[in-house]
């Protein structure tokens, strides 16, 4: 069995250039984040889970969780396990009433939606995280910026500008 690292949903973003949804999964005990491109409807399903929004009728992920429970099974985790042909593959790990473990193949966005609804851990294969993980840039809104102090050399470069302003 391969090693895995536990992650949590760090953020869900919309690309400004093409409206793709990007889900960032952040290592719980590390600095890396794994970006996943997901569809609009999949993103909305994840947002519903993250914000604990109740819908009057069951959504497909709710239905899956209810069906597993009705069959005396329980969801253990969601796992992103491999990448093939530029596509991530995932599975939902289920334990049935007899204690047997079942690996249910699915898309990563579906596995994450189910995990969020079932309140179970989300894992990523450690090798995948090390290969495709990124170090997100800090949020510029939370950074304190300090204005650099001009040096004597900078003052000389600005002298023509200062002369112009004083004659304006």
What is the sign, positive or negative, of the torsion defined by CA atoms of 78, 83, 85, 87? positive
- Which tokens sit at 144? 């304190």
Per-residue model confidence (pLDDT) at position 20 = 85
Letter string b/e over residues 124-161, b meaning 16 or more CB atoms within 10 A of that residue's CB: bbeebbeebbeeeeeeeeeeeeeeeeeeeeeeeeeeee
Chain length of the chain: 168
DSSP 130-152: HHH-B-PPPPTTT----PPPPPH
Per-residue model confidence (pLDDT) at position 19 = 79
Q: Which residues contact 28 (CB under 8 A, 6 or more apart)?
A: 5, 6, 7, 8
pLDDT digits (tens, 9 = 90+) for 35-83: 999 998 999 999 988 888 888 888 889 999 999 999 999 999 999 999 9
Per-residue model confidence (pLDDT) at position 154 = 56
What is 4-141's CATH superfamily?
Bifunctional nuclease domain (3.10.690.10)
Instruction: Print pLDDT tens along the chain (168 aa).
Output: 579 999 999 999 887 888 789 999 999 999 999 999 999 899 999 998 888 888 888 888 999 999 999 999 999 999 999 999 999 999 999 999 999 999 999 999 999 999 999 999 999 999 999 999 999 777 666 666 565 666 665 555 566 666 666 665
Which three-class secondary structure state does DSSP give residue 119? Answer: coil
What Rg do the C-alpha atoms of the chain give, in angstroms? 24
Per-residue model confidence (pLDDT) at position 71 = 93
Per-residue model confidence (pLDDT) at position 161 = 60
- pTM equals 0.78
């Amino acid at each position: 069995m391969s090693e895995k690292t536990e992650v949590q949903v760090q953020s869900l973003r919309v690309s400004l250039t093409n409206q793709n949804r990007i889900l960032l999964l952040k290592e719980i005990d590390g600095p890396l984040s794994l970006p996943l491109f997901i569809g609009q409807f999949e993103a909305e399903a994840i947002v519903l889970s993250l914000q604990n929004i109740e819908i009057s009728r069951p959504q497909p992920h709710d239905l899956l969780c209810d069906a597993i429970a009705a069959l005396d099974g329980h969801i253990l985790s969601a796992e992103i396990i491999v990448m093939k042909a530029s596509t991530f593959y995932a599975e939902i790990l289920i334990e049935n009433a007899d204690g047997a473990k079942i690996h249910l193949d699915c898309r990563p966005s579906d596995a994450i939606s189910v995990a969020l609804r079932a309140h179970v851990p989300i894992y990523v294969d450690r090798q995948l995280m090390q290969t495709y993980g990124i170090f997100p840039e800090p949020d510029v809104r939370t950074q304190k910026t300090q204005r650099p102090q001009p040096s004597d050399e900078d003052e000389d470069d600005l002298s023509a500008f200062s002369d112009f302003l004083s004659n304006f």
